[in-house]
């Protein structure tokens, strides 16, 4: 048997490490949805970013450059997505699904061209945990919170910054106004299109960071199904967090802990702790948890009024 306190600290600590990918991806998506645009390509964007970050990191050994390249790739596809909606009035769901397929395929294609499609052979060194002096020695709590890699701490700091920007600045008010009533915002002199472009680019940046995180901080390798549904969970978690970056911290670490539990059960599948249940069953837990959380949260969710709706400025002007 495993010592209880050490087991809990290990599971929850790894859960925070796993959940950071969801947190990074969700922060930008909160801005996009608050502006009235649903970036449904998140799964593909994260796959593309994971592929690009792996190739750049393997070739250069520079994690900062790998993160920048990953963000640039996912932001470029996000720009295409919002451009199709704003310029050609293409439905957000249609554009999102099309670009999900495109970006996922592009990420896999890049890997096959650059690395020959070899998986599990060329590993890169993942980011090491940073032990915060004194705090990391606190029993149970220390290993959980104060022995994480730099991107975990970055994700938490960015969450507070995102909250301040969204709810305490004039631009944050602009984003929320565009997401609730774009016609009224336009009449007030707000550039609805530009606001949605910027918010969606933030979504792409978040997806880039989240996808790159999986490679640079967790796996150290790229696989075609490396994201494993985290992009879809991110969209569900944004609703679960009620479009609040601070609540997203709780949601992401909750889902990450569910994944950590599944991983722990997989590792211990030969031990009686699993009760004879196939370890594959426990990998269902994060997805079941996301569905249940979404069902519960959706009942109380106050969706941005303009979410999924195409805004046509010409029609809005003619109605004035």
Render each residue's pLDDT in the chain as its tens digit; 320 residues.
556 777 888 899 999 999 999 999 999 999 999 999 999 999 999 999 999 999 999 999 999 999 999 999 999 999 999 999 998 999 999 999 999 999 999 999 999 888 776 655 578 889 999 988 888 888 888 889 899 999 999 999 999 999 999 999 999 999 999 999 999 999 999 999 999 999 999 999 999 999 999 999 999 999 888 998 999 999 988 988 999 999 999 989 988 998 888 888 777 764 545 566 676 777 787 788 778 877 777 777 788 999 988 888 765 444 44
Tokens in use for 244? 């609040």
Please tell me the distance from the alpha carbon of residue 300 to that of residue 179, in angstroms, as a whole number: 18
Cβ neighbours of residue 38 closer than 8 Å, sequence gap 6 or more: 32, 92, 93, 96, 235, 307, 308
Work out the widest C-alpha separation in the chain, in whole angstroms: 72
Tokens in use for 15? 């859960």
**How many residues are listed for the chain in this entry?**
320
Please tell me the distance from the alpha carbon of residue 268 to that of residue 287, in angstroms, as a whole number: 21
Dihedral sign from CA coordinates of 84, 197, 52, 238: negative
- What is the SS3 string spanning 211-263? HHHHHHHHHCCCCCCCCCCHHHHHHHHHHHCCCCHHHHHHHHHHHHHHHHHHH
Q: List the one residue out of 253, 280, 254, 287 whose CA is nearest residue 265.
A: 280
Burial annotation 143-163 (CB, 10 A radius, 16+ → b, else e): bbbbbbbebbebbbebbeebb
pLDDT value of residue 264: 83
**Alpha carbon of 121 to those of 127, 279, 314: distances in Å?**
18, 25, 55
pLDDT value of residue 117: 62
Q: List the one residue out of 82, 260, 67, 292 whose CA is nearest residue 158.
A: 67
All domains of the chain, ordered by start, with CATH? 4-301 (1.10.3470)
Angle at 247 between CA 239 and CA 176, to 5 degrees: 60
pLDDT value of residue 276: 63
Q: List the one residue out of 96, 45, 97, 108 whose CA is nearest residue 71.
A: 45
Please tell me the distance from the alpha carbon of residue 195 to that of residue 82, in angstroms, as a whole number: 11
pLDDT value of residue 80: 96
Tokens in use for 266? 């997989």
């Amino acid at each position: 048997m495993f010592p209880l306190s050490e087991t809990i600290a290990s599971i929850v600590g790894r859960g925070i490490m796993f959940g950071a990918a969801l947190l990074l991806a969700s922060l930008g998506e909160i801005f996009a949805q608050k502006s009235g645009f649903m970036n449904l390509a998140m799964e593909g964007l994260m796959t593309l970013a994971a592929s690009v970050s792996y190739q750049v990191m393997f070739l250069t050994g520079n994690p900062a450059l790998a993160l920048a390249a990953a963000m640039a790739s996912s932001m470029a596809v996000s720009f295409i997505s919002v451009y199709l909606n704003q310029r050609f009035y293409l439905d957000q769901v249609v554009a999102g699904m099309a670009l999900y397929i495109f970006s996922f395929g592009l990420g896999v294609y890049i890997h096959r061209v650059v690395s020959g499609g070899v998986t599990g052979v060329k590993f890169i060194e993942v980011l090491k945990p940073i032990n915060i002096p004194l705090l990391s020695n606190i029993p149970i709590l220390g290993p959980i919170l104060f022995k994480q890699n730099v991107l975990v701490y970055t994700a938490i700091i960015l969450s507070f910054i995102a909250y301040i920007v969204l709810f305490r600045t004039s631009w944050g008010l602009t984003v929320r106004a565009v997401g609730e009533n774009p016609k009224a915002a336009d009449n007030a002199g707000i550039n609805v299109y530009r606001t949605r472009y910027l918010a969606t680019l933030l979504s792409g940046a978040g997806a880039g960071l989240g996808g790159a995180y999986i490679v640079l901080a967790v796996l150290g390798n790229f696989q075609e199904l490396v994201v494993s549904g985290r992009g879809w969970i991110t969209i569900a978690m944004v609703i679960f967090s009620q479009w609040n970056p601070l609540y997203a911290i709780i949601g992401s670490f909750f889902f990450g802990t569910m994944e950590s539990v599944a991983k722990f059960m997989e590792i211990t599948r030969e031990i009686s702790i699993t009760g004879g249940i196939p370890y594959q069953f426990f990998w269902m837990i994060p997805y079941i948890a996301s569905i249940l959380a979404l069902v519960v949260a959706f009942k109380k969710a106050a969706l941005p009024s303009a979410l999924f709706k195409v805004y046509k400025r010409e029609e809005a002007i003619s109605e004035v």
